[in-house]
Structure 1
Amino acid sequence: MPKANQKTTKTKNTTKPTGSKSTPQLTTSGRMYIKATFNNTLVTFTDDRGNVISWTNTGSVGFKGTRKSTPYAATTTIEEAIKKAKEKGINSIQVYVKGPGPGRDAVLRVLRNSGLDINMIADVTPIPHNGCRPKKPRRA
């Protein structure tokens, strides 16, 4: 039995996760998801099953503050994302664009000159069918 001032230590056999997942087989086709907001542009590449291969945004490319919301920042971000995807072996993609930001137009310009085989471009921006309930009218 330990004394009052001594600490007891228990040993545990625990293993820490390795930190990164690896894709089992390399695929040459994938999906490109672009979320173009008014403040940022996020680009994610996935394989056909939806597992993320690579991603980037305007902040990770090096833009800060209001410069993140420019079309040039979106263009640079998309070029960086395409370069990462080509290194992973992606050749043909399906493109899904979401949001109203400046990255929407930049996507089409960069993709035309990217050298990737584009199977489809889809706009998946959510549109409210009835919208939110309006506020009560103000009492006089």
Structure 2
Amino acid sequence: MKKLKSIILIILFKPTNFFCIVTDLKGNVLFWTSSGILNSKSTRKFIPSTIVYTLKYIINLLHKYKYLRIKIKGFNKNQKSILKIFKNTFLNILSICDLKSFPHNGCKKRKRKRI
């Protein structure tokens, strides 16, 4: 069986969920998953065991690919453990890109409403 060349894995951390999107090099989405799809509800979406379970599900789907590029968006304390999981797999990691976007003293934040 011939292995296909490379893919891009985008890991997106939102305040309430965790998304993994697999695309080819042109940007076409091959498949995606989230911790909510895999029957994790409410605050259990960000438990490290749930994140590991989601990533192992993705690794099982990536058996026909050889090379991997990882892009991480958003903030989470488990980012290093995610990279360790992919480092121990059969995939060759070509690049790791961290796309954190936070303002450098840009627009003023809105005042909080007092109740």
Query: 1:47 deviation in Å?
Result: 0.4
Q: How many residues align?
A: 109
User: Which residue of structure 1 aligns with residue 79 of structure 2?
Assistant: 104
After superposition, the Cα gap between the structure-2 partners of 1:135 and 1:44, relative to the gap in structure 1 and judged at 3 Å, is closer
Identity percentage over the alignment? 29
Q: 2:99 aligns with which of 102, 124, 127?
A: 124
Aligned residue among 68, 75, 79 for 2:45: 68
CA contact (8 A) 1:96 1:124 kept: yes
Aligned to 1:91: 66
SS in 1 for 2:108: coil
Partners of 2:78 and 2:107 in 1: how far apart? 27
- Find the counterpart in structure 2 of residue 34 from structure 1: 11
Question: If each structure's strand is expressed as a fraction of its own residues, which one has the higher value?
Answer: 2
Displacement of 1:135: 5.8
Cα distance 1:135–1:49, how it changes in 2: closer, same or farther (>3 A)? Answer: closer
Residues 1:81 and 2:58 are matched in the alignment: yes
Computed over aligned residues only, the root mean square deviation of the Cα atoms, in angstroms, reads 2.0
Tell me which structure has the larger Cα radius of gyration: 1
CA distance in 1, matches of 2:109, 2:51: 35
Structure with larger RCO (C-alpha < 8 A, sep 6+): 2
Structure 2 unaligned residues grouped into runs of 5+: none
Gap regions ≥5 residues in structure 1 = 1-25
Matching residue's letter, 1:97: I
Distance in 1, Cα, partners of 2:41 & 2:106: 33
In structure 2, what is the Cα distance between the partners aligned to 1:106 and 1:129?
27
TM-score normalized by the length of structure 1: 0.69
The Cα of 1:36 is off from its aligned counterpart by 2.0
Alpha-carbon distance change, 59 to 102 in structure 1, aligned in 2, over 3 angstroms: farther
User: Residues 74 and 102 from structure 1, CA distance in 2 versus in 1: closer, same or farther, beyond 3 angstroms?
Assistant: farther
Q: Secondary structure at the match of 2:37?
A: helix
- 1:15 counterpart residue number: none
